[in-house]
Amino acid sequence: MPSIGHLLQTFFDSSDLFIDAMLLTLQLTVVSILVGIVIGLFFALLKISNIKALEWISNTYVYLVRGTPLIVQIFILYFGISGIFLIPDFWAAALALAFHNGAYIAEIFRGTIQSVDKGQMEAGRSLGMSKALTMRRIILPQAFRRSLPPLGNQFIIGLKDSSLAAFISMNELFNVATTLGSNNFDEMTYLLIVAFYYLVLVAILTLIVRAIEKKLAVSDR
Amino acid sequence: MYTREMIHIENLNKSFGDLHVLKDVNVTVKESDVVCLVGASGSGKSTLLRCVNFLEKKDNGKIIIEGKEITQDTHDINEVRQKVGMVFQHFNLFPHMTVLENIIEAPVHVKKIPKDEAIKEAKALLQKVGLDDKADVYPSKLSGGQKQRVAIARALAMKPDIMLFDEPTSALDPELVGEVLSTMKELAEEGMTMVVVTHEMGFAREVADWIIYMDEGIIVEKAKPEEFFTNPKEERTKEFIQTIGLK
């Protein structure tokens, strides 16, 4: 194990590189979650469409994502996408992560949409609102509120999962840690440092999620 | 004097799986009539009401609204529903909207009425149901009786020709029933055509033009209130009136 003094020294010496890496990790995470929310909502709506073919498409997507390791998905999508289109590595990694997050987010949305009392749909319909309008104006706003806490949770999971983008040469936190570690023959020091960065990020996110939950609880109506 | 037939139902059948809930039901409701549907739980009265605005899909039979036979294929159900307001047992107010927003939602987004005009009309409706001070309050802050009166105002905002009430006071504390019934009574006095599924026999007796007694998916008897309560023709109706202790 490295000594405390050596750890601190290395921590401060490497902070420039790690802060850049941390920003890249955050960018990857935010983009992959935001795109994942769009994908997730789309597949959640397919899932509750009551149209067999659409449900099947959505179920297959979720099954594929849940049934295979993330690293395999990242490699398949990375080589698959870059084999067809010329897109920057960042977007290949972000889209692969979004594809993965989307499946879990689809399940979150499906659950919260179905948790809205069915009397809400009936009330909208009885006023002459179409199914789509009732969904957009009445059901989804209520479902979104209920989705925020589990979405926050998915955000934290997505943050940690983004470390796998290291394997397609993204210079995010984990990649910087392993590169510096092997260049300096000092793996353990850099791994401890990168663990610290992740812990700080997750702590901040946890506080944000908690604040949102608290706010929702207060205005719970 | 000729009065318009607002609802005409012919040989309506509806099953849920093996359960035959409505059996060859025939009903006619004329303009300005107040019809109360009474009967034990599970007799099919709520299902009948829900068929009238197509929340339940009939198996067969005819549903004629204001002279036109309505089916899902030939008519835009959303348009028909604008003429047929519905009030639910559990209010079903939109919890993420204020009282005012609840009321203007459909007029603004379905009828495309300008928002300021819709707000003006909504405020008038709130005054009518005695809740003009609650416009900017969220439903969770209202009592059950207030919620139901908002729900009535919300349905009225679409200017329907017919109002359906599905056990509107069944979910209320006893002391809150009166305020909802008196709102409904006012509506009846203004000439609104109303079909009310209810267990409130006092209301039925006082306000209804017709009482329809249903049992096991069949209309057993249709009579004027006085006749219904004092001189029922059918044996089953007599038993029903005895069990509810009103004679």
Residues in chain B: 247
Select from A120, A128, A141 the Cβ nearest to the Cβ of B110. A128
Note the ipTM here: 0.92
Q: Taking an 8 Å Cβ-Cβ cutoff, which residues of chain A contact chain B?
A: 117, 119-120, 122-130, 133, 137-138, 141-142, 145, 220-221
Closest-approach residue (CA) in chain B for A125: B78
Which position has the higher pLDDT, A171 or A42? A42
pLDDT band at B1 (very low <50, low <70, confident <90, very high): low
Select from B55, B90, B105 the Cβ nearest to the Cβ of A125. B55
**Lowest-pLDDT range, A11-15, A49-53, B172-176, B242-246?**
B242-246
DSSP A145-200: HHHHHHHHHHHHHHHHHGGGGGGGT--SHHHHHHHHHHHTT-HHHHHHHHHHHHHH
What percent of chain B stands above pLDDT 70?
Answer: 98
> Region B142-153: what's the mean pLDDT?
96
- What is the distance between the alpha carbons of residues B144 and A28, in angstroms, rounded to a whole number? 48
- What is the distance between the alpha carbons of residues A211 and A213, in angstroms, rounded to a whole number? 5
Task: For B34-58, write each residue's pLDDT tens digit.
Answer: 999 999 888 999 999 999 999 999 9
In this structure, are residues B189 and B167 in contact, taking their beta carbons and an 8 Å threshold? Answer: no
Q: Is B92 on the interface with A (CB under 8 A)?
A: yes
Select from A127, A130, A220 the Cβ nearest to the Cβ of B158. A127
Q: Is B170 on the interface with A (CB under 8 A)?
A: no
Position A220 scores a pLDDT of: 53
Task: For A140-166, write each residue's pLDDT tens digit.
Answer: 999 998 998 899 999 999 999 999 988
| Interchain CB distance below 8 Å, A127 and B106 | yes
Position A211, amino acid: A
Select from A119, A141, A145 the Cβ nearest to the Cβ of B92. A119
Residue A171's alpha-carbon distances to A24, A63, A99, A165, B204, in angstroms, are 7, 30, 20, 8, 76
| Interchain CB distance below 8 Å, B138 and A141 | no
- What is the distance between the alpha carbons of residues A44 and B184, in angstroms, rounded to a whole number? 41
Q: Residue B64: what are its φ and ψ, rounded to 5°? A: -115, 120
| Interchain CB distance below 8 Å, B88 and A119 | yes
> Which residues on A lie below 8 Å from B47 (Cβ)?
none
> Which residues on A lie below 8 Å from B82 (Cβ)?
127-128
Global pTM reads 0.86
3-state secondary structure of B6: strand
Closest-approach residue (CA) in chain B for A119: B92
> Which residues on B lie below 8 Å from A138 (Cβ)?
94, 105
Closest-approach residue (CA) in chain A for B97: A138
**Lowest-pLDDT range, A206-220, B4-18, B80-94, B149-163?**
A206-220
Answer left, alpha or beta for residue B244, where phi above 0 means left and psi between -120 and 50 means alpha: alpha
Percent composition of chain B: helix, strand, coil (DSSP 3-state, to 5): 40, 25, 35
CB A201: neighbour CB atoms within 10 A?
18
- What is the distance between the alpha carbons of residues B58 and A89, in angstroms, rounded to a whole number? 57
